Structure 1
Amino acid sequence: INVNLTYELDKLTKGNQQLGSGEWSLIAESIDPSAVRQFIIQYNIAMQKQLAAHPELANDEVALQEVNAALFKEYLPLLQKSEPTIKQPVRWKNALGELNANLDISIADPAKSSSSINKDIKSLNFDVKLPLNVVTETAKQLNLSEGMDAEKAQKQADKQISGMMTLGQMFQLITIDNNTASLQLRYTPGKVVFNGQEMSEEEFMSRAGRFVH
């Protein structure tokens, strides 16, 4: 089974400012229909057993969500056996250009994965390209929508985006070339290439953990 869902936003406005338009897609490929049926059957049977054994779940939304999450995680490997791929391209454009982001994930069969850290992902590619004039224009439009005059809105936007880019470079989250900020991540079991720098997945997770905290 292949699935392609696309959501388009023709126009986004705030106040009297038109911020642009965009498109987001969710593409899933190589989904095994028999695995989907088996997942639904086993998940529903398990949920019915939980509700029969714990009728109080029907009145406890938080506990019910926890059970849902646990059962989904338990039976997810059924869907992973066919090693489907998931793609999520995003684009946003305004009068000065277009921003792009793409996330491609190849799901792994946990029984076949060689990774000691993540047995759910076979490969992952993530790319973001942010032309600085486009993001600055968006920041300026937001400032204008807050009531700033044109000159102040532009100066504030320049300052905001410059600060964000400086912070992104300081944390080595982005690279800037030809007035475009970029982020690139390539992952396969045992190896990560982040913005052109190769490292082990253990090192990448350690770096990511330090940034999050």
Structure 2
Amino acid sequence: MEAKQFMKKSTGVLGLAVVVAAACTAGAWYTGKQLPGVLETTIAESNAQTKQALLGMETTMELQLVSLDSRLFSSTAKYRLKVQNLQVGEESKSFELNFVDQIEHGPFPLSRVKALKLMPVMAASHYALEKDAATADWFALTKDVSPLQGQVAYGYDRSMDSAFQVAPIEWSKDGSSLKFSGFEVSGHGNEGAEHVQLTGQSAGLSLNLVDPDSKVLKVEIKGLSLTGDMTKTPFGFYVGKMDMAVADTVATFGDEQKVLALKGLAQNNEYKNDGDKLSVRMEYKVADINFDGKAIGAGEMVWSLKRLDIPAMQALIGWYQSRLPEFQKAAAEGEGMPDLAMTEAETAQVRSDVQRLLAAKPQIALENLSFKTANGESRFNFSVDLANPSSLELPPQELYKQLITQLQSKLSLSKPMIGDLATLQAQFEGQTDAAIVSQQAAQAGEMVSMMAVQSQMAKVEGNDIVTTLHYADGMVDFNGQKMTVEQFASVIMANASAMQATGG
């Protein structure tokens, strides 16, 4: 009786194993059939996104599928990344990178099972940069580990989970050295990569350069991070948030080996679209600046662009890219706008795109430029609202009047902050008498305040020296005084002449 029960159980287990094996084999066969199409679609989407990212630049990048060797349970793919006209310093370089990809077929790739990732997937990809004559020196820096490698899990719903690694690097020669901890980015994309999330991190790098004159430059960067949450628009590019940060940066340089330390460096970008209009907000921050052992302060800069007409902007960028060599030649020769030979149709199209861009009433703003010291904070903001003039052929004065509907700015200088900077300057110049330093600091803010009020360029509000400007409908409001544009220009010119005379 017990033997019969054992036989029944064994038969059941064996049957289950056969069913699982059959399911895995069928899944692997299905993957083998689907994989070529999935790779072609993924590569096409990647190239389209790269083209969008490089729009308006001379650099081009294209990923190609060189070969695909498919077996029942695995495949080997080879790719080539062609890069053309990449600007490196003052040189333009073109090169190719070759990658090999070992692909495990689903539904249960062995590498995922070992990592206890048991959700079925179509395939698990493991790609790496190949070593060849062009990359041999790079491999030498990474101790023969592939410098670029990554993993991608392709879901049956066309979602992707990925990880990308830049290998650690070590280099030294003639007293100079570089040590980089490597960088890793992981991400998730849903079907067709309509929504993409990214996270990246690196412990940092240290660089020690010694020149022939024995001058030393040391740079140490710690705590690099990247986060992104992006959604694809109908126009082919992504909007959302992309944030980057560096926890600590220390640079030692110069004959006296002065030390500059920065903490809390951050760049936070946000892109939004409302229909066919794009808005962009870019924040740049540094939480703490220290130089030569002395606390300097903290700073922030925030730019924004609003109501940018996307089709018009893309058309103008595409036109600029088509004439890029002419613009580059003019810049190299120190000229302004190049003398472009344009057909009537091309001229009409560019003007139409410019007017469509202006018809959306875009706004460009420096929302905040601030600097904070121990005892005070100064701020500046500026914004200009644009509109579509009746014609781009109007006389300059009338054109600007119709083009700029509103301009406003405000500068607020903190007298205590000016004093802090005067104190630092005195200390850097070697002044050690505390009484003299304190007196100079107190006088600095008051001197700037007195000069600003006497010239009528600013008002004093408490501990702040404030200048305001507002322009609309051909009239200027400068520090509460209304005047025409011509009168405002006269005031500025008169003060500029007075300052030059004083300086002389």
Report TM bin, short chain: 0.7 to 0.9
Bigger strand share: 2
Structure 1 residue aligned with 2:436: 152
SS of residue matched to 1:95:
coil
Correspondence 1:93 to 2:372 = yes
1-structure distance, mates of 2:370, 2:288: 13
Partner residue in 2 for 1:61: 332
Partners of 1:169 and 1:39 in 2: CA distance: 45
Distance, in Å, in 1 between the alignment partners of 2:304 and 2:318 is 24
Matches of 2:378 and 2:329, distance apart in 1 = 44
Deviation at 1:112, TM superposition (A): 7.2
Number of residue pairs matched by the alignment: 204
Q: CA RMSD in A?
A: 3.0
Q: In the TM superposition, what is the alpha-carbon distance from 1:41 to its structure 2 partner?
A: 2.5
1:1-213 matched pairs, under 5 angstroms: 1-47=278-324, 50=326, 58=329, 61-63=332-334, 65-67=335-337, 77-78=354-355, 79-88=357-366, 89-111=368-390, 116=398, 118-119=400-401, 120-149=403-432, 150-213=434-497
Task: Check 1:117–1:160 CA distance in 2 against 1; reply closer, same or farther (3 A cut).
Answer: farther
How many Å apart are 1:198 and its aligned residue? 0.7
**Structure 1 residue 47: Cα displacement:** 4.5
Q: Residue 143 of structure 1: CA displacement?
A: 1.8
Amino acid at match of 2:381: N
1:21-65 superposed Cα distances (whole Å, 9 cap, x missing partner): 0100111111111111121133334455x47xxxxx7497134x5
SS, match of residue 388 in structure 2 = coil
Structure-1 separation of matches of 2:358 and 2:416? 41
Shift of 1:188: 0.7
Q: Give the TM-score normalised by structure 2.
A: 0.37
Structure with greater helix share of residues = 1
TM-score w.r.t. the length of structure 1 is 0.81
In structure 2, distance between residues paired with 1:12 and 1:104: 28
Is the 1:17–1:144 contact (alpha carbons within 8 Å) kept by the matching residues of 2?
no
Which letter maps to 2:490? S
Q: Is the 2:419–2:441 Cα contact (8 Å) retained in structure 1?
A: yes
Larger Rg: 2
Amino acid of the structure 2 residue aligned with 1:42: W
SS of 1:66's equivalent in the other structure is coil
Gaps in structure 1 of 5+ consecutive residues: 52-56
Give deviations 1:150-186, integer Å, cap 9, x for gaps.
3222222233332222221122111012122101111
Q: Relative to 1, partners in 2 of residues 1:112 and 1:196: Cα closer, same or farther, differing over 3 Å?
A: farther
Alignment partner, residue 54 of structure 1: none
Q: State how far apart, in whole Å, the 2-side matches of 1:94 and 1:170 are.
A: 26
Checking the alignment, whether the CA contact within 8 Å between 1:17 and 1:145 is kept in structure 2 is no
User: Do 1:90 and 1:101's aligned partners in 2 also have CA atoms closer than 8 Å?
Assistant: yes
Secondary structure at 2:435 match in 1: helix
8 Å CA contact 1:16, 1:145 repeated in 2: no
Q: For residues 207 and 117 of structure 1, do their structure 2 counterparts lie closer, same or farther at Cα, with a shift above 3 Å needed?
A: farther
> Could you say what secondary structure the match of 2:398 adopts?
coil
